[in-house]
């Protein structure tokens, strides 16, 4: 019996190796990757105001990543109407979910209310510092002010996001609503919140930044 086993084992080992190699060539993972925990931390654009759950930005983004073979656990941390100050006040609660990545998408309501850009900057700074202290990789999703708020306000507000991204070495999507803003076919009746088609474009534009963040997280583990 012992002799028989010694003769069979080498063949079995070679067969196992060949199967594993074939799986790699076919693109099938030999070992399933651990899901990455992602917190989408924002306002109504994140929460999905006016949309069915399956059409919200966090859900669509999670679906796209999972289809790419990048498994995630997506946490919808969007609250409609939230300003950056509201984000600061609930950050500890959000970080209690132990995200590895945060998509930081706050500031639109600050701008719509004409709040002082210095206050918005200070609040985002506080959020970023606390998240980084918790070892969370951040993707900063920028926002832009419309011209009707005045050139001075627009210049001050628009400068916040690129300057924060540079100062903290963050992955940076310059404008969350790129290719979607002011397009009636891609927004709901209010002209502000994207519809399902608009969300699909946001996801497409956001994906490269999120996958880079996932690479950083997985490379550090």
Query: For residue 99, what pLDDT is reported?
Result: 98
The answer to whether 87 touches 138, Cβ cutoff 8 Å, is no
| Count: domains in the chain | 2
171 and 118 fall within a common domain: yes
Q: Which domain holds residue 10?
A: 1-31
pLDDT digits (tens, 9 = 90+) for 69-87: 999 999 999 999 999 999 9
Find residue 38's DSSP bridge partners. 74, 101
Instruction: For 12-68, give the DSSP string.
Output: HHHHHHHHHHHHHHTT--SSPPPPEEEEEEESHHHHTTTS-GGGSHHHHHHHHHHHT
Q: Which residues contact 29 (CB under 8 A, 6 or more apart)?
A: 23, 69
19 and 52 fall within a common domain: no
The answer to whether 158 touches 110, Cβ cutoff 8 Å, is no
Catalytic residue among 44, 82, 110, 158: 44
Catalytic residue among 43, 82, 158, 193: 193
Instruction: Report the DSSP pairing between strands 101-105 and 36-42.
Output: parallel
Q: How many helices (H) and strands (E) does the chain have?
A: 10, 5
23 and 94 fall within a common domain: no
Query: For residue 202, what pLDDT is reported?
Result: 98
Catalytic residue among 7, 11, 184, 190: 190
15 and 113 fall within a common domain: no
Closest among 110, 195, 172 to 145, alpha carbons compared: 110
Q: What is the pTM of this model?
A: 0.85
Tell me phi and psi for residue 8, to 5 degrees.
Answer: -85, -40
List average pLDDT for each run of 10 residues in the chain, which is 221 residues long.
Answer: 44 45 45 84 98 98 98 98 98 97 98 98 98 98 96 98 98 98 97 98 98 94 71
56 and 144 fall within a common domain: yes
42 and 16 fall within a common domain: no
4 and 91 fall within a common domain: no
97 and 157 fall within a common domain: yes
The secondary structure element, H or E, covering residue 108 is: helix 108-112
104 and 16 fall within a common domain: no
40 and 148 fall within a common domain: yes
**168 in active site:** no
24 and 38 fall within a common domain: no
**82 in active site:** no
**80 in active site:** no
146 and 132 fall within a common domain: yes
Q: Supply the CATH number for residue 56's domain.
A: 3.40.50.1110
Query: For residue 26, what pLDDT is reported?
Result: 52
Query: For residue 52, what pLDDT is reported?
Result: 98
């Amino acid at each position: 019996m012992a002799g028989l086993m010694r003769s069979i084992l080498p063949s079995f080992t070679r067969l196992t190796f060949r199967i594993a190699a074939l799986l790699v060539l076919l693109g099938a993972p030999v070992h399933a990757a651990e899901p990455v925990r992602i917190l989408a931390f924002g306002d109504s654009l994140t929460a999905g105001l006016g949309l069915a759950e399956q059409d919200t930005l966090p859900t669509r983004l999670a679906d796209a990543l999972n289809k790419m073979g990048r498994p995630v656990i997506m946490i919808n941390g969007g609250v409609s109407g939230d300003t950056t100050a509201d984000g600061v006040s609930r950050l500890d609660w959000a970080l209690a979910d132990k995200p590895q990545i945060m998509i930081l998408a706050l500031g639109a309501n600050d701008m719509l209310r004409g709040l002082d850009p210095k206050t918005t900057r200070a609040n985002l700074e506080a959020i970023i510092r606390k998240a980084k202290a918790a070892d969370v990789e951040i993707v900063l999703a920028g926002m832009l002010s419309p011209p009707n708020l005045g050139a001075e306000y627009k210049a001050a507000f628009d400068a916040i996001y690129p300057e924060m991204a540079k100062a903290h070495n963050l992955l940076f999507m310059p404008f969350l609503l790129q290719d979607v803003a002011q397009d009636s076919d891609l927004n709901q009746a209010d002209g502000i919140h994207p519809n399902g088609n608009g969300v699909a474009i946001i996801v497409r534009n956001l994906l490269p930044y999120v996958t880079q963040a996932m690479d950083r997280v997985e490379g550090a583990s």
